[in-house]
Structure 1
């Protein structure tokens, strides 16, 4: 509340008052903010809330926490920071912004989130948020919108043990790919006519998945 107030975290002492009482020193809110309000402590507190929410009877009727949905909210950033980027579509020609990407499970609890500079494709950021979630069981299915969809992400999510389920618009234009031209894909044999080459480093995705967190896409 103090951070959102007009005066900010640090207030001016009243010279007409007696000595500041313990815990009410003008710099006390600043010390609390710098010493306790960090990403690690906020994540630990959120993990406790996730566990407490899962114990509520009606919440268990909603789901078991095995389905997660990811979406982002875009904000204009008025200060200079590496976490902001340009986008004339969302922020105008001369302004920078960022996307707060949040992952919520079927028990209506936020599992975690990441700040995406500008409007970069957020598929890999979703996976990064899932791998570094604050608590709760590991989701089995991850639901996103079309903006988070790319072909290669399906394989990367599968390697990490997630079922990637984007809501794809214009799905009639989508292509199904195969890695072997002579392989038999059964019922999908007729529709998977396009062949994809894995390139000189086919194990790169596996190494990234085994590392636990993804490298920065930028």
Structure 2
């Protein structure tokens, strides 16, 4: 392990994932991170990408989960049963500066 921390059993691991990746005291250059179901949230997916990490959570009951994609894409037709809709990219664009400020703030 490169980082460990005791957490309350009621907390989701996802709230602590970035702490371990950004503030570990090892010489490791971590590029990819795996978690179990409790170790991911939609927000963490976005932040991991913005901070330069490949994120690969193991999501239990993924068949009951709905994925959201940037736009309708015929290439994703095999995922149709899992797609719940499209992402509102206008909201992201409108708040992009604040999103980058948040990611930079977390990283520093």
TM-score, normalised by the number of residues in structure 2: 0.71
CA drift at 1:193? 4.9
2:17 to 122, 126, 132: 126
Aligned pairs for 1:33-182 (under 5 A) are 104=1, 111-116=2-7, 119-179=10-70
Higher helix proportion: 2
Residues in 2 aligned to 1:114 and 1:204: alpha-carbon distance in whole angstroms: 29
Report the RMSD for the aligned CA atoms in angstroms: 2.6
Listed one character per residue, the Cα deviations across residues 177-202 of structure 1 (whole Å, up to 9, x for unaligned) are: 134xxx45341256245123346634
Residues in 2 aligned to 1:133 and 1:176: alpha-carbon distance in whole angstroms: 31
Extract unaligned runs of 5+ from structure 2.
none
> Is 1:208 matched up with 2:99?
no
Which secondary structure does the structure 2 equivalent of 1:209 belong to? helix
Residues in 1 aligned to 2:54 and 2:69: alpha-carbon distance in whole angstroms: 19
Which secondary structure does the structure 2 equivalent of 1:113 belong to? coil
Q: Counterpart in 2 of 1:81? A: none
TM-score, normalised by the number of residues in structure 1: 0.39
Residues in 2 aligned to 1:204 and 1:123: alpha-carbon distance in whole angstroms: 21
Greater Rg by CA:
1
Structure number with higher relative contact order (C-alpha < 8 Å, ≥ 6 residues apart): 2
